[in-house]
Structure 1
C-alpha cells in the first residue's frame, strides 16, 4: 500500500465516528428533546376500573358519550434530552398550548393526568393551564391539548385517556404526540430493556474497524526501526559464546527484517585468524573469550559482556567442590587420582581445550596462574580404550561430550552452556559460579567477551548496529538471560571490560 498511512486513517475513523455519534446524540440532536411513550393501549371488555387510585374521579368526560367500544391509553411525556425545557421553548403558536396528543379513529371521552415526577408540575397541568379535549377532522380524531409544561432533565408526567371508536374497525392506529421544541425535537421513545439499535450499529462499526486494522497489519509490512541496519553479517570465533550470539541475532532479525546472519564458531584463535586474513571487511566479525593478544594489531576490540565459566567433572565422581589450589594441582599433574582429595579410586583424566582456544587461555589465566605443564595433543575419542589421562577438544560441545563419557574426567566450560548440557558443575572454595559474585570478585573463573573487527566499522553497517544492540538494547537482556553482564552496565566498575587490562 506504499506510503499511504492506512492504519492511521482507520484509527482516526475509529475515534472520530464514535465521538461524532456521541455529540450528535447527546449534545446537538439530543440536547433538548421531548419524548413520549405509549405505555398502555388496550380495549375495555368489561367494567371500567381505576388503574391508578383516584383517577376515575378526576376524569374529564364528555357527558353525551355512549360508553361503548371503549379503549384506555396511558401516555408518558418526558424530557429525554440533556437540557431543561422551558415554557418558552415550545413552538406552538397558541398561548398556553404546547403539544397535541392525537388519537386517530377515536374520540376522547375522558382524560386525567395520573403521575407527576415532581409535584411542582401540578401548577402547569391544572384546570386553567390550557389542557383540554377536542375533536379534529370531522370528529374522527380525538385530541388532547397539553400545556407548555417546563420540564427539567428526566422530568415526566402521564396522561390517561378513555377513548371511543369514531370510525373504522380492527386495531387502532398508534397515538401520536405533535409539537415543536426550539433547537430540539419531539420524538417517540421506547423502554430500553436491551442494547439500542444505535449502540449495536456503533459496536458493529468499531468491530469492523478493528478487523480491518488487523488485516492491514498482517498484509502491510511494518517499517524497521530507525536504528536497524540491513545486509549480511558473518560472525565467527568462540564456540563458548555461540548460543548467546545466535539468540541475540534471532531477536535482532525479528526487529530488523533486512538483516541476515551467517555463523561459523570454530574457536577463538581460528576466528581471529580469519578476520585478520580477510582484511578490512565490515561484514565479518569474530567473538573472543578474552583479549586478542599482541599478534593481531589490525583488529579493533569492542567489549561485550562479563561472562561466567565453570569447572565440570564426570557425574559419577560425586565431587561438588574443589579449592582453587586443588584445581591447579589437578591440571598441573600433581594430583593424579581422585582418592587423593577424597574422591573414588579412579585416575584423573584432564580434558583440555586445544591451544588457541579463548576459553583455555582464560582458564590458564584465572585458575592456573598463567602457566601449565605442556602436553601433546591427544584425541578424547582415542584415549577411551587406552586408559589415557589427558586429551583435548576443539569446541565447547566436544568438551561436554568428553567429560560426560570418560570416567574420572574433569574439564571447564562456559557456565550457561554447561547448565544446558546438564553437566556436574563444581563450586570453587565453596563459592558457586554467579554473575554478581564475579562482579564483586568472590568467584574467580570469569572473563570478558569481545567482538573484533578488522579496522573501524561504518556507523551504518549491520555489524555496528548489531554490536550496539548487544549491549544497549534487547540484546543486553539476552546476555543476562545467558548469565552474562553487559559491558557498560552500572554494576560493572569502569575499566573492567578494558581489553588491555
Structure 2
C-alpha cells in the first residue's frame, strides 16, 4: 500500500460506490419485488375528532342492520416495485392454492372490501365476483395471484370493525403476507414508502458521493504546494531576455506572463528597449553571444530573438526555430474611403504612381505612406512579398507629424503601435501591421488585397501575399535544461499555441509542413 496514494483510493471509491449502487439497484434489488403501502387507516374515533358537519359518519355505519361498534377504513396499495414482471407461478404458494396475498388486521374483523383502483384495466379481470382466492374471512383478506408488470399496482379498500374483547386503544398495523420466487431478501413482500426527494438508499448514496467529492477537494488543496514544487517539463530557472519583432511583441508579452506564472523560478523582463525590430533583435542576440565567449558548441541559454522572416547572411551562429505563420495587413486612415486594393494598385501607390485616393475611387486626399524603420520584418516582408522586391519611396518628413497634408509624402516610425496610432491620426495615411494588432485598433481600416482579407485560407490558396514565418533565433544550441529551451517548448505546447492563435498567428505545428512553416500554396 506504500505506493498507493490517497487520491487513488478516493478515486476508486468514487467509482466503486455508484457502480455498486447500480449493480444493487438493477441486478439485485431490481429483481422481482412485491411491495405494499398502507395509504389510509382511519377509525371512527379519528373522524369524530375532525371538524365538519359529516365528521362522525364512520360511527353511523351499519352492517346487517346493526351499527358497527368501532368501525375503521383501510386503503391498501399492492404494487410491483421491481424491474421484472410478476406472474402467477412466481407467488410462493402451492399450485392448488389460488391465494397469492393474505392481509390480516389484528383486533379487527372485515366487514367488507373492494378493489378500488387498478393501474391498468386488464387487472380488473383478476377481481371479478367469484374469482378463486378473492375474499375475506373474519380478520383476513385474501387476494388472488395477480399478474403485475413493472410498476403495476392495484388498491384494496376495506371496512373493518373492532373484535369484541380487543381492548387496546389503537389497532396494530395490517399484516401482509406474501412472497415471490427469485425476489430479494427471500422474496417476502415488503412495505414500501414514498419519498418526495429520494429513497433512503439513494440518499445514502448521495451522502457518500458528497463525502468522496469533499475528500478529493481537500486532497487537491493539500497537494497544491507539492504540485507547484514539481514544475512542468517546460519550466526552467533563471532570467530570459527577449528581443526582436515589434509586431510579435504582444504574443511574447502574453506568453511570458503565463510562463512566469506557471514557472515561479523564471523571470522574463520586458522593457521598451527589448523590441526594436527584427534586425535590431538579431544584432542584440549576436552581440550577446560574442560577448559571452561561450565554449565551442555551447549556446546561450538565456536569450532569444524573434524575427519576421529569415535572417540575412552573415550570422552563422544564429540558429532558427520556426514558431508561427504570421499574417500582415495594410491599414489605412478611415477618411481615405478605401477598403480594398488590387495588388497592382498597391504597387503603384508605393511606387509613387498613385498619389491621391480618388485615383482608386477613394476620397480626395493625398496618399501619406507611414512605414516602419529599416530593419523591420514587417517592412521587409512588405517589400519582398507584396512589392516584388521594389524599394520604398524616399522619406519626405523625418517626423510623421510634419507631413504636408496637401501633398503626398512618406515617413517612418520605430514600432507597430506607433505606426497604427499615426495612421489613425493622419488623413490619407497608409501603413502596414501584423493582423492581431491592427484588428485590435479600432481607429484604422484594414485593407483587402484583390478582395482577400488577411486569412490563412487566402494565403494557402496563393491569393493573399502578405504573410511571413515568425522565427525564433538562438545563439548556438541552448542547453536542454535552459530557460531559452524551456520557453521555446512552451510556445509549442497547447498553452503556447492558444496564445499564438489568440493574436492572429497560426502555430507551425498546425501547418502541412511544420518545419517550413509556410502556406500550403506557396
Task: Give the TM-score, by structure 1 length.
Answer: 0.72
Higher alpha-carbon Rg: 1
Aligned to 1:486: 507
Aligned to 1:17: 17
Given that 1:435 and 1:483 are in contact with CA atoms closer than 8 Å, whether structure 2 keeps it comes out as: no
Task: Give the paired residue count.
Answer: 469
Alignment of 1:99-138 (within 5 A): 101-104=103-106, 106-108=107-109, 110=111, 117=123, 125=133, 132-133=137-138
Q: Secondary structure at the match of 1:183?
A: helix
Distance in 2 (CA, whole Å) between partners of 1:417 and 1:304 is 18
Aligned to 2:167: 168
The CA deviation at 1:301 is: 0.7
Distance in 2 (CA, whole Å) between partners of 1:22 and 1:172 is 39
Alignment of 1:323-338 (within 5 A): 324=343, 327-328=346-347, 331=350
The CA deviation at 1:237 is: 0.9
**Structure 2, gaps ≥5 residues long:** 45-57, 290-298
Q: Which of 180, 185, 188 is the equivalent residue of 1:185?
A: 188
Q: Secondary structure at the match of 1:35?
A: strand
Aligned to 1:275: 285
* The 10-residue stretch of structure 1 (286-295 or 320-329) with the greater mean CA deviation from structure 2: 320-329
Aligned to 1:37: 37
Q: Secondary structure at the match of 2:162?
A: strand
Aligned to 1:59: none
Distance in 1 (CA, whole Å) between partners of 2:334 and 2:30 is 81
The CA deviation at 1:385 is: 11
Distance in 1 (CA, whole Å) between partners of 2:508 and 2:22 is 55
The CA deviation at 1:273 is: 1.9
The CA deviation at 1:321 is: 5.0
Aligned to 2:49: none
Q: Secondary structure at the match of 2:62?
A: coil
- Alignment deviations for residues 384-412 of structure 1 (CA, whole Å, 9 cap, x no partner): 89999443221111212333334454332
Alignment of 1:439-450 (within 5 A): 439-450=460-471
Distance in 1 (CA, whole Å) between partners of 2:100 and 2:430 is 103
Aligned to 1:369: 389
Aligned to 1:242: 249
Distance in 2 (CA, whole Å) between partners of 1:303 and 1:365 is 19
Q: Which of 315, 335, 338 is the equivalent residue of 1:316?
A: 335
- Residue 417 in structure 1 maps to residue 427 in structure 2: no
The CA deviation at 1:275 is: 1.9
Given that 1:90 and 1:148 are in contact with CA atoms closer than 8 Å, whether structure 2 keeps it comes out as: no
The CA deviation at 1:262 is: 3.9
Aligned to 1:294: 313
Q: Which of 53, 57, 62 is the equivalent residue of 1:48?
A: 62
Aligned to 1:140: none
Q: Secondary structure at the match of 2:379?
A: helix
Distance in 1 (CA, whole Å) between partners of 2:513 and 2:267 is 32
Distance 1:310 1:103, change over 3 A: closer
Distance in 2 (CA, whole Å) between partners of 1:206 and 1:268 is 57
Aligned to 1:70: 71
The CA deviation at 1:276 is: 1.8
Aligned to 1:405: 425
Q: Secondary structure at the match of 1:45?
A: helix
| CA RMSD of superposed structures (Å) | 4.9
Distance 1:5 1:236, change over 3 A: farther
Given that 2:243 and 2:276 are in contact with CA atoms closer than 8 Å, whether structure 1 keeps it comes out as: yes
Distance in 2 (CA, whole Å) between partners of 1:333 and 1:456 is 45
The CA deviation at 1:358 is: 1.9
Task: Give the TM-score, by structure 2 length.
Answer: 0.69
